[in-house]
């Protein structure tokens, strides 16, 4: 096995990031340190020739999909469906472009080690990075690599990388307009307490959309929950037990959160959509078979993956091209979780021993252990 940048870092007593800066002729390293790194690189016979030159002409080229879980709140089994859709889209374009895709997963691995692991693979033509759980500093860890990169499922418009993401702003605006078309003016948001970039963009878009459309923003209608099914259910249940007021409509910043919220509301006897209308985001397959079927924002993850692969090929061919930021629009999938606005609900039961509430032909009793079952195949 040839010399790696990790070997050089150990010999020169510097970080892997410092070695990468020196070998890629980037600024930010003192002259003495730079010379020491280059000295050990020569002594260890390190070769830093361009990656694309190492590929055999005509041979199938390799692109790596980096599935990075920093905390596991959103890159987990609850969300495997949309991650699989990303990969399917990448593979679809990769076949046309004659690239082979490798999927590599990292769970709570330090970012500098991830970058080092990628740098050491000289057979790679490029990488597509799942940025769902990456913050700005995590993304910037990649700035010293010479490997062509594209980030998906995150968006930083002021950083020098290629990004392909969903259009959160336009999609959330569609949600608010749809609620308003049904007569809702008291609209709340159930947002993730884990502030990923896309969650932050949806939160910001919701506040801006409410202001643009002249609708009141009320802090009492803002609910922060975990982004897992069990976490969202537990957090919403606690809000309700504490006597939270509910608006006539709730936007949940993803479908998994919406599933947990639906369970918590139904256990308290709240009728969906008669009492509270709900819209999610992601249009997971389970959304169509919920009770009631969940109205949700659908964004083609397949298209995002496919676009990212084509963008990566362009980056491989011309590394000097300016960064491109691409967003894929969403559509609102109408189902049965939204109804016309009725009389406002001012507070949810604080006493669990209340009379049953009727929902059509079915009577639900507000008890702490009310049944709620997700359809088969849905992870909890």
Q: Does 57-166+303-330 carry CATH code 3.40.50.2300?
A: yes
Mean pLDDT over residues 343-352, rounded?
Answer: 52
Q: Is the peptide bond before 273 cis (omega within 30 degrees of 0)?
A: yes
- Please determine whether the domains at 1-48 and 57-166+303-330 fall in the same fold group of CATH: no
Contact 76, 254 (CB under 8 A): no
Give yes or no for residue 354 having a pLDDT over 80.
no
Query: Which pair of tokens denotes residue 269?
Result: 């006897």
Whether the per-residue pLDDT at 344 is higher than 80: the answer is no
- The better pLDDT of the pair 10, 59 is held by 10
- pLDDT exceeds cutoff 80 at 236: yes
Percent of residues, the chain, with pLDDT higher than 70 = 83
> Once rounded to an integer, what is the mean pLDDT over residues 144-154?
92
Q: CATH number of the domain at 168-299+332-364, please? A: 3.40.50.2300
- In percent, the amount of the chain with pLDDT more than 90 equals 61
Greater pLDDT, 377 or 170: 170
Nearest residue to 199 (alpha-carbon basis) of 108, 74, 83:
74
- pLDDT tens profile 44-57: 887 655 444 444 44
Residue 212 CB burial class (10 angstroms; 0-12, 13-18, ≥19): exposed
pLDDT band at residue 35 using 50, 70 and 90 as cut-offs: confident
In words, the CATH class of domain 1-48 is: mainly alpha
Residue 185 CA: distances (Å) to CA of 177, 212, 229, 271: 10, 13, 27, 19
Give the bridge partners for 225, in sequence order: 192
Model confidence over 317-328: pLDDT tens digits?
888 899 999 999
Residue 356 confidence (pLDDT) above 70: no
Residue 82 has pLDDT above 90, yes or no: no
- Average pLDDT value over all residues in the chain: 85
Res 225: pLDDT? 97
Predicted pLDDT of residue 40: 86
Q: Which residue, 274, 227, 208, 214, is CA-closest to 246? A: 274
Residues 6+ apart with CB under 8 A from 144: 17, 20, 21, 24, 26, 115
pLDDT tens, 92-145? 999 999 899 999 999 988 999 999 888 888 788 999 999 999 999 999 999 888
pLDDT of residue 29: 80
Mean pLDDT, range 221-237, rounded to an integer: 96
Average pLDDT over residues 207-233: 96
Residue 368: CB atoms within 10 A of its CB come to 9
Q: Write the pLDDT tens digit of every residue in 252-307.
A: 999 999 999 999 999 999 999 999 999 999 999 999 999 999 999 999 999 999 99
Please give the Cα distance from 301 to 279 (Å, whole number).
Answer: 19
pLDDT attached to residue 8: 87
Global confidence as pTM:
0.76
Give me the mean pLDDT over the 5-21 stretch: 84
pLDDT at 253: 98
Q: What pLDDT does residue 373 have?
A: 47
Taking the domains of the chain in order of start, what are their residue ranges?
1-48, 57-166+303-330, 168-299+332-364
Render 261-291 in DSSP notation, one character per residue. Answer: HHHHHHHTT--TTTT-EEEEES--GGGGGSS
97-111, 303-317, 335-349: which range is least confident on average? 335-349
309-330 per-residue burial string, b: 16 or more CB within 10 A, e: under 16: bbbbbebbeeeeeeeeebbbeb
Residue 367 has pLDDT above 50, yes or no: no
Region 231-247 average pLDDT: 97
**63 band by pLDDT with thresholds 50, 70 and 90:** very high
Task: Tell whether the model's pLDDT for residue 23 goes beyond 90.
Answer: no
Query: What pLDDT band is residue 377 in, cutting at 50, 70 and 90?
Result: very low
């Amino acid at each position: 096995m040839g010399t790696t940048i990790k070997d050089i870092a150990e010999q020169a007593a510097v970080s892997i990031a410092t070695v990468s800066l020196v070998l890629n002729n980037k600024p930010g390293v003192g002259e003495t340190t730079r010379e020491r790194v280059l000295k050990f690189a020569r002594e260890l016979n390190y070769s830093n020739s361009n990656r694309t030159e190492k590929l055999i002409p005509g041979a199938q080229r390799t692109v790596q999909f980096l599935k990075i879980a920093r905390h596991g709140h959103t890159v987990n089994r609850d969300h495997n469906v949309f991650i699989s859709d990303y990969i399917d889209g990448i593979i679809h374009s990769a076949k046309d472009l004659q690239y082979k895709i490798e999927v590599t997963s990292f769970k709570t691995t330090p970012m500098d080690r991830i970058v080092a692991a990628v740098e050491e693979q000289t057979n790679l033509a490029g990488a597509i990075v799942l940025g769902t759980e990456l913050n700005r500093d995590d993304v910037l860890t990649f700035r010293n690599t010479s490997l062509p990169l594209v980030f998906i499922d995150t968006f930083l418009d002021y950083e020098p990388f290629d990004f392909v993401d969903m259009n959160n702003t336009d999609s959330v605006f569609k949600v608010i307009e749809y609620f308003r078309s049904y007569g809702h003016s008291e609209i709340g948001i159930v947002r993730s307490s884990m502030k990923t970039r896309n969650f932050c963009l949806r939160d910001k878009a919701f506040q801006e959309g409410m202001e643009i459309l002249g609708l009141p923003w009320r802090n009492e209608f803002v609910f922060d929950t975990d982004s897992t099914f069990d976490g969202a259910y537990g957090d919403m249940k606690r809000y309700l037990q504490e006597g939270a007021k509910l608006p006539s409509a709730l936007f949940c910043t993803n479908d998994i959160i919406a599933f947990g919220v639906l369970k918590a509301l139904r256990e308290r006897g709240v009728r969906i959509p008669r009492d509270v209308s709900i819209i999610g985001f992601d249009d997971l397959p389970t959304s169509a078979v919920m009770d009631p079927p969940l109205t949700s924002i659908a964004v083609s993850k397949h298209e995002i993956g496919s676009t990212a692969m084509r963008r990566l090929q362009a980056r491989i061919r011309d590394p000097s091209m300016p960064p491109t930021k691409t967003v894929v629009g969403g559509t609102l999938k109408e189902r049965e979780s939204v109804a016309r606005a009725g009389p406002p609900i001012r507070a949810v039961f604080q006493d669990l021993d209340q009379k049953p509430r009727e929902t059509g032909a079915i009577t639900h009793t507000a008890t702490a252990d009310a049944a709620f079952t997700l359809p088969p195949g849905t992870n909890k």
